[in-house]
Amino acid sequence: MKYLMMIILVVVGISVAAHEGHDHGAPTFQPPKGGILKTSLFGHFELVKKKDLVSLYLYSTDGKPLPTKGLTLKSELELPRKKSSPIDLTDKGTHWETQVQSHGTHRYSLKINIHNGKEKDYVTFTVENK
């Protein structure tokens, strides 16, 4: 009986420890504008695409909108089988915007490098054309 209890405790302990590696930085809220969420050091970024217009919104860890002031973004458009090219994001105060000409591809990636003067991070969005 002692051995059976020890085996059960070991199995339960191993299964509990196996769950420690999942991503705790994932957003715990739904994208407010129905876009794609990615997490960075600076908060959660939501990418919203409407035709060729791409908008990027920043939220705190609890889902509240954050101002864009103090952050510098540089972005690259990566089309399938083509070199990546820089694109400009226009700061609108509450979000950033850009026009993306995806040239008829079914999917593209948008890599956003974020700087605040001291820290750097990046997020990469894979965008499906519908």
- Local confidence pLDDT in tens for the 130 residues of the chain: 777 666 666 665 555 554 444 344 566 778 889 999 999 999 999 999 998 899 999 999 888 999 999 899 999 999 888 888 999 999 999 999 999 987 778 899 999 999 998 999 999 999 998 7
Domain CATH number, residue 46: 2.60.40.10
Q: Domain tally for the chain?
A: 1
What dihedral do alpha carbons 20, 22, 28, 34 form, nearest 10°?
A: -170
- Please, what is the Cα angle at 35 between 32 and 96, to 5 degrees? 90
The model's pTM? 0.76
Is 7 contained in some domain? no
Residue given tokens 């509240």 in the structure block: 64
Residue 1 lies in a domain: no
CA–CA separation, 93 and 129 (whole Å): 27
CA dihedral sign of residues 79, 84, 86, 91? positive
Q: Which residue has the tokens 């994001």?
A: 89
Domain-located, residue 19: no
pLDDT of res. 106: 87
In a domain, 112, yes or no: yes
Structural domain that includes position 48:
37-128
> Does residue 100 fall inside a structural domain?
yes
Residue 113 included in any domain: yes
Question: Across the beta sheet with 36-40, what order do the strands follow?
Answer: 36-40, 43-50, 53-59, 95-99, 90-91
